[in-house]
Amino acid sequence: MILDIYDTVYVWVGSDANAIEKKEALRTVKEYVATDPTNRSVDDTQLLQVKQGFEPPGFTACFHGWDPEKWSGGKSYEELKREMNDENAGITLVDTELEKYSKKYPYSELSARHPPEGVDACCKEKYLSDEEFQKVFGMSPAAFEKQPKWKKDTQKKAKKLF
């Protein structure tokens, strides 16, 4: 969900959203502001991700029927912040969140049972640096992509990246 209050645009992400949904929500909010017919831009508009259960007062004030106890277990926003030891608990910049989806990771982290946050488990190989990709697969990413799907899947399984 996108909430636009002109100088700040929130993108609310539910706790059950998967990595692809989160990534696309973040991209969508940037595109939304970039294509806005007014004179604002992504550079002069604050784009914030708000996680379910950590909605700040500036967000919830826009909804008259907001039930603050629905996701927070009865705790106030201030209590949740204290619990997290973070002044901005549950709120992050959209660009910071988008970086998670383009970051490169070492093979050891990608081949672990649970990949890092933001990694699409269906294509872990895309998060390897070109150099490490060459070491792991013995070919460049471009050469790998030219292969048939069944062959790529077999290689990914052998390298624990499937």
Give the SS3 label for residue 20: helix
pTM score of the predicted model? 0.56
Stretches in the chain below the pLDDT threshold 70: 68-74, 76-77, 80-81, 83-90
52: which 2 tokens? 């379910």
> Can you give the pLDDT at residue 121?
83
CB burial string 134-161: b at 16+ within 10 A, e below = eebbeeeeeebeeeeeeebeebbeebeb
114: which 2 tokens? 């649970």
